[in-house]
Amino acid sequence: MTSGDCPLCALDAAEALWANDQCFVISAEIMGVGTICRVIWREHVQEMSELDAAAQGAFMSVVFGVEAVLRALARPTKMNVASLGNLVPHLHWHVIPRYRDDAYFPDAIWAPARRKALARPVEDAVLRIALEAGLRG
Amino acid sequence: MTSGDCPLCALDAAEALWANDQCFVISAEIMGVGTICRVIWREHVQEMSELDAAAQGAFMSVVFGVEAVLRALARPTKMNVASLGNLVPHLHWHVIPRYRDDAYFPDAIWAPARRKALARPVEDAVLRIALEAGLRG
């Protein structure tokens, strides 16, 4: 996959919940878990170790800032943070609040579901305000 | 779980493949995938956003250094990097070389297996030398 056919390159960062010059934040609903955030690097790069130390640091500081915002808003049992990209090899981090009674706990959200779970949506409007307050532009 | 009954607190960093004052690196064999590394924070802390910026940066610089070493040694299709800790809420990162023909690709390694896969072991002796060369103490 090149940047020409990459679905993350095709996203419009201007519509993101939060953005800076290097990366942007979107939300997604995961059935049985709730609202998660994804932090997407703007440039089409495959691996974190292809970035220099300054870029790695800038990217992870946003990822962990998003983690802090989601912890404050969603009060999870545990946060999960993962960069996989097997299908879409363009750097993006999943920042996932987990709950003792979510559909997969204590397994990863990619495991088979263990139970039905309540929806736990966090509104984009709330996320926007919290990200703006919690992250440095 | 407190540090008193935490299996990661019970590990002896002196037996790790690589260690500094803050974290250490061990290997594990994942059936159907191969040799992965885990980077474990020494202190019993649950979430990355509980660490200050300097500690986050120091930890991730080791995690991405391990990623670079595994990319060079194992020539994977893609690297996966994840901090879950639902069962053992003591900060540790899984650094996982993935292959187009591993048992789970393109799913996460926590999904059901799609196929049988070759073993792809990387010897600890080789890892030790590569980590020593690739990481700053």
Is residue A74 classed as helix, strand or coil in its secondary structure? helix
Task: Find the CATH number of the domain harbouring A43.
Answer: 3.30.428.10
Cβ distance of B84 and A82 shorter than 8 Å: yes
Chain A interface test: which of B6, B49, B114 (most A C-beta within 10 Å): B49
C-alpha dist (Å) from residue B44 to B40, B80, B81: 10, 24, 20
Q: Using a pLDDT cut of 90, give the percent of chain A over it.
A: 93
What was the pLDDT predicted at B120?
86
Within 13 A of A47's CA, how many CA atoms are on the CB side? 22
Cβ contact (<8 Å) for A60 and B65?
no
Does the pLDDT value for residue A136 go beyond 90?
A: no
Q: Report CA torsion sign: B40, A43, A129, A94.
A: negative
Average pLDDT over residues B105-127: 95
Across chain B, mean pLDDT equals 96
Q: What are phi and psi of B130, to 5 degrees?
A: -70, -40
Encoded amino acid at A59, one letter = F
Question: A79 and B47 in contact by Cβ < 8 A?
Answer: yes
Cβ atoms of A108 and A101 within 8 Å: the answer is no
| Closest approach of A119 to chain B, Cα-based (Å) | 20
Output the CA angle A9-A67-B3, nearest 5 degrees. 135
Shortest Cα–Cα distance, B13 to chain A (Å): 24
- Nearest CB partner across the interface for A64, out of B46, B48, B82: B48
pLDDT score recorded for residue A3: 85
Cβ neighbours around A35 below 10 Å, total? 21
At B96-108, the pLDDT tens digits run: 999 999 999 999 9
Residue A97 tokens, joined = 């609040």
Residue among A49, A85, A108 minimizing CB distance to B110: A108
Vertex B15: Cα angle to B12 and B16 (nearest 5): 95
pLDDT in tens, A11-40: 999 999 999 999 999 999 999 999 999 999
**Interchain CB contacts (distance < 8 Å): A and B:** 99
* Residue of chain B nearest A45, judged by CA positions: B78
What ipTM was predicted for this assembly? 0.96
Lookup: tokens for A99: 């709950």
> What is the per-residue DSSP string for B16-59?
SSEE-SSEEEEEEEETTTEEEEEEEESS----GGGS-HHHHHHH
What's the domain range around B71? 3-134
Per the CB < 8 Å rule, is B48 touching A67?
yes
- Closest by Cβ to A48, choosing from B53, B81, B84: B81
Q: Total structural domains in chain A?
A: 1
